[in-house]
């Protein structure tokens, strides 16, 4: 009875414009966030959300998680956003997806909340000025980065007095020297991913980019240089022929490279940032304390480049709380948040300066070497149909590495099939 009377009084007060409910309660905003799967560390995101709520008492944040892979998360979000469901206010997406989500009308451009796109992206790593900006609009903001790194056996290079190679030809010579001296039949020179997985998109792009070539322009139109693309694929095949890369490279997946390097069977290995902790922390690792990180080599006469990965915060086009969601995005993509995620979760920073922050380097010493790699990072092809783009590049690259297609045939197929997708 007492509760009913209180409710009646409050209702009457509201009707008269004399509500006795505290103003902060009236202003309460509940934001629902899709924070990805375990690899996106929702436990750390929650700590940031809780901190934000303490600083902004009028805002509470609810977290939704799910999907072990980028593809599964994309399928889930596609269902929600296709239905124009306002239940989710902001969400994490893979770096390859801003153009796709923008084209579908699923995200809220953030210029009205964050200002001019060029100015908003200037503090971050250079790659985000292209990957997260579509048609001059801020499609998403960088949460944390990832990249492909060249890991190497520092102990073996020191032992045999071999300098870090700057070109793929120098890497081949270094690997052959060490392999011959070690006399270990199981020792590989270089491990790359050639199976038809997402990593093979980067396998195609790394030597191509290092020749100073771009795959697409700022508008997403394909600018493929077929000759340079064929040269890049021939570079990999030459390493196979030299015995530096194993012959069944077209079957090698991300986990294979990690496990073989961890077992002490590889001198050089290209893999994502998560691999370093596997080499350092796994109980069965044979390379603890022996791993170095360096910029990826380039085709002779070219410049090092790497494939950037990572995750971005986007505001739903269907959110009913876009202003507050954009404010939360600003906080979640701040230098403070980047330092926290780096020190607590070894998640690669989106700001170059954070890589050399004293507290971050103390917590994750290898980040000081990572900075020189990520600064040369480039984004995979920007397309509203990225799923098709990825499928065409990775399957064709794998076929070339399996020698069922020549480099020229493979590049011709990529160019003709993508011409219809990347207009």
Q: What phi, psi does 262 have (nearest 5°)?
A: -60, -30
- Across the range 162-169, mean pLDDT stands at 97
Write out the H or E segment, with its range, that includes residue 363: helix 358-363
Q: Which CATH number fits domain 2-146+309-375: 3.40.190.10, 1.10.287.130, 1.10.3720.10, 1.10.645.10?
A: 3.40.190.10
- pLDDT of 218 reads 82
Pairing of strands 377-378, 306-315: parallel
pLDDT grade, residue 410 (50/70/90)?
very high
Residue 339, pLDDT above cutoff 70: yes
Query: What's the whole-number average pLDDT of the chain?
Result: 92
Q: Where are the alpha helices (H) located in 144-198, listed in sequence order?
A: 154-159, 168-182
Helices (H), 18-153: 23-26, 42-55, 70-82, 98-104, 111-114, 117-121, 128-131
Say if CB 362 and CB 341 are below 8 A apart.
no
Please report the pLDDT score of residue 66 as a whole number: 93
Beta bridge partners of residue 151, listed in sequence order:
269, 293
Q: What is the pLDDT of residue 6?
A: 38
Q: Is a pLDDT exceeding 50 seen at residue 24?
A: no
**How many CB atoms within 10 Å of residue 30?**
11
Percent of the chain residues topping a pLDDT of 90:
89
Separation between Cα atoms, residue 405 and residue 341, nearest integer Å: 43
The pTM score is 0.89
CA angle 4, 7, 11 (to 5 degrees): 140
Dmax over Cα atoms in the chain, in whole Å? Answer: 89
What does the alpha-carbon distance between residue 329 and residue 91 come to, in Å, rounded to a whole number? Answer: 10
183 Cβ contact partners less than 8 Å away, ≥ 6 residues apart: none
Which of 74, 70, 94 is CA-nearest to residue 82? Answer: 74
- Express each pLDDT in 279-302 by its tens digit: 999 999 999 999 999 999 999 999
Cα separation of 332 and 190, whole Å? Answer: 37
Mean pLDDT of 359-369: 95
Structure confidence at residue 27 (pLDDT): 56
> What contacts 349, CB < 8 A, 6 or more positions away?
144, 145, 338, 339, 341, 342, 355, 360, 367
Ranges of CATH 3.40.190.10 domains, the chain: 2-146+309-375, 148-307+379-419
> Across residues 96-120, what is the average pLDDT?
96
The CA distance from 215 to 224, in Å, is 5
CATH topology for 148-307+379-419 is D-Maltodextrin-Binding Protein; domain 2 (3.40.190)
When pLDDT is cut at 50, 70 and 90, the band that residue 23 belongs to is: very low
Higher pLDDT, 311 or 2: 311
């Amino acid at each position: 009875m007492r509760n009913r009377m209180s409710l009646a009084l409050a209702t009457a007060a509201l009707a008269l414009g004399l509500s006795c409910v505290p103003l902060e309660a009236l202003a309460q905003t509940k934001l629902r966030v899709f924070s990805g799967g375990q690899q996106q560390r929702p436990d750390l995101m929650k700590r940031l959300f809780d901190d934000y709520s303490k600083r902004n008492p009028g805002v509470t944040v609810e977290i939704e998680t799910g999907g072990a892979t980028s593809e599964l998360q994309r399928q889930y979000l596609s269902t929600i956003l296709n239905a124009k469901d306002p239940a989710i206010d902001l969400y994490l997406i893979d770096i390859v997806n801003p153009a796709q989500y923008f084209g579908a009308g699923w995200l809220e451009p953030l210029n009205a909340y964050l200002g001019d796109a060029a100015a908003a992206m200037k503090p971050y790593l250079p790659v985000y000025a292209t990957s997260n900006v579509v048609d001059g609009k801020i499609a998403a903001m960088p949460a944390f980065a990832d990249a492909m790194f060249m890991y190497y056996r520092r102990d073996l290079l020191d032992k045999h007095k071999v300098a870090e190679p700057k070109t793929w030809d120098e890497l081949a010579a270094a690997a052959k020297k060490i392999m011959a001296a070690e006399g270990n039949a199981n020792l590989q020179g270089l491990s790359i991913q050639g199976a038809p997985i997402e990593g093979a998109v980067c396998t195609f792009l790394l030597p191509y980019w290092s020749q100073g070539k771009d795959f697409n322009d700022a508008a997403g139109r394909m600018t493929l240089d077929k000759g340079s693309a064929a040269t890049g694929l021939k570079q990999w095949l030459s390493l196979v022929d030299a015995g530096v890369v194993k012959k069944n490279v077209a079957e090698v997946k991300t986990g294979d490279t990690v496990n073989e390097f961890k077992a002490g069977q590889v001198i050089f290995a290209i893999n994502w940032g998560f691999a370093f902790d596997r080499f350092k922390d796994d109980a069965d690792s044979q390379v603890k304390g022996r791993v170095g990180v360096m910029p990826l080599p380039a085709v002779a006469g070219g410049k090092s480049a790497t494939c950037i990965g990572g995750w971005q915060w986007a505001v739903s086009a269907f959110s009913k709380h876009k202003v507050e969601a954009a404010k939360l995005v600003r906080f979640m993509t701040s230098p403070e948040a980047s330092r926290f995620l780096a020190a607590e979760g070894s998640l690669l920073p989106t700001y170059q300066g954070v890589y050399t922050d004293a507290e971050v380097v103390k917590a994750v010493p290898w980040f000081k070497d990572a900075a020189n790699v990520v600064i040369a990072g480039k984004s995979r092809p920007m397309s509203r149909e990225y799923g098709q783009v990825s499928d065409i590049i990775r399957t064709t690259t794998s076929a070339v590495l399996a020698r069922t297609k020549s480099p020229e045939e493979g590049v011709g197929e990529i160019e003709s099939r993508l011409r219809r997708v990347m207009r």
